[in-house]
Amino acid sequence: MNEGINSTMLGLPPIPSIAEDLIVSRDIMVSEYTGGKIHIAHISTKKSIEMVREAKKKGLRVTAEVAPHHFTLTDDAVKTYDTNTKMNPPLRTQEDLDEVYRGLKDDTIDCISSDHAPHSLEEKEAEFEHAPNGIIGLETQVGLALTELLHKKVLTLEKLIEKMAINPRKILNIPVPKFEIGQNADFTVLDIDEIWTVDLSKSKSKSKNSPFDKKLLTGKAVAVVNKRKMFYQDKFIKL
């Protein structure tokens, strides 16, 4: 877990934020030296975000991504010793979360992605120190982003879609789907005001390792159209 007052109180071996900051700093320097592109995945510390902001100001080809748990939870969540709060990088502090919001607002952070990491119940039911890192995220990422970022006015809907669906494709040079005659229309339908409760017992994933069970969310992906197949809530419709 994150190094700080909570790790001291809980007696868990800590990971200081400098562990992340050093690698981000090194990689930005390598990018500056080589002129190459670098993408920082799962950014989580205040200082790392500040370094990416400075690198972008210098015109370096640096992009960054944040996972939903790093804008939703702090290391206070670890107080339960729930191994579903164990991830890498670890959950950080409110100060770090505030910088994540700033970074999302000023486009220092380009992307939001699920960091989906399924683990079986047996693996996660170990002591905190021995449990594997990571949580599932595919079914909660849209709801968490709409609840924490759109409805709390961190991002507009346009910006949120850009960070979840458009920027990742741009960074990976994958074409952004367009509505065009003769082309398959691939898209997701969002109900931004649907209020729902996460229920892991109904999750489609084989793994249930999520700290968001029973969390009340506002906003949901209600349908997906992909490769001429449509999934609407629980129904599957072939087009």
Least Cβ distance, residue 43 to Zn ion (angstroms):
12
Query: Which of 75, 96, 110, 115 is labelled catalytic?
Result: 115
Dist CA 141 CA 220 (whole Å): 9
Q: Does 115 bind Zn ion (CB under 5 A)?
A: yes
| CA–CA distance, 68 with 91 (Å, rounded to integer) | 11
* Separation CA 163–CA 57 (nearest Å): 19
Exposed, middle or buried by CB within 10 Å (0-12, 13-18, 19+), for 82?
middle
Q: How many residues bind Zn ion (CB under 5 A)?
A: 1
Q: How far is the CB of 70 from Zn ion (least distance, A)?
A: 11
Binders of Zn ion among residues 132 to 151 (CB under 5 A) are none
Identify which of residues 3 and 115 has a Cβ nearer to Zn ion in the complex.
115
Active site residue 115: yes
Q: How many CB atoms lie within 10 A of CB 216?
A: 11
CB atoms within 10 A of CB 45: 24
Using the rule CB under 5 A, is 65 a contact of Zn ion? no
Nearest to Zn ion of 115, 139 (CB atom): 115
User: Taking the complex as a whole, how short is the minimal distance between the CB of residue 11 and Zn ion, in angstroms?
Assistant: 26
Integer distance in angstroms from the first to the last C-alpha of the chain? 47
3-class DSSP state of 58: coil
Distance CA 214, CA 168 (A): 29
Give yes or no for residue 20 binding Zn ion (CB under 5 A). no
Closer of 209 and 220 to Zn ion (Cβ): 209
Report the nearest approach of Zn ion to the CB of residue 42 (Å).
Answer: 6
Nearer to Zn ion, 96 or 115 (CB): 115
Which two structure tokens, joined as six digits, stand for 64? Answer: 């960054």
- Closest residue to Zn ion: CB criterion: 115
Query: What is the set of active-site residues?
Result: 115
Binding site for Zn ion (CB under 5 A): 115
